[in-house]
Amino acid sequence: MVAFPKRFSWTRAIEFKYNILVQSIKQILNKFDPTRDKYISREFQSYGIYLAEELNDYKHRGLYIRLAKTMHRSILEKALSFVVDSNAKNKGALFMWKLSQLRKTPK
């Protein structure tokens, strides 16, 4: 059993945790940028949106976010550089094709 010091106060401990976990509205609003932080809270989401914008395929941004979350970044960057250098009409399809080619190649 844990022995607490004589001066230990549960109310002070709860108040301390509350002050650490809860930020003031002023602190939250100072950090918030509505143009950048609208719905993106993780790095892989940001990279997925970046992929969708580079490929001019914003309709399938959820797919690119999932790829950014699950696949290794180097493979995605190689496929993206291949597509950006090309003159393809459908860059999203070319990206997916190149991605499948890179996944099939042995390491």
Please write the tens of the pLDDT for every residue from 6-39: 565 556 555 555 454 455 667 666 766 666 656 6
* 21 is a domain residue: yes
Helix 43-54 vs helix 73-84: crossing angle, to nearest 10: 20
* 3 is a domain residue: no
* 2 is a domain residue: no
Residue 46: which domain range?
10-104
Query: Residue 48: is its pLDDT beyond 60?
Result: yes
Q: What is the pLDDT of residue 41?
A: 74
* 60 is a domain residue: yes
CA distance 92 to 83: 8
Q: What is the pLDDT of residue 45?
A: 87
The two tokens of residue 71 are 């696949």
Q: How many domains does the chain contain in total?
A: 1
Query: Residue 5: is its pLDDT beyond 80?
Result: no
Helix 61-70 vs helix 43-54: crossing angle, to nearest 10: 130
The string of pLDDT tens digits covering residues 63-101 is 999 999 999 999 999 999 999 989 889 999 999 999 999
44-72 average pLDDT score: 92
CA distance 87 to 92: 12
* 5 is a domain residue: no
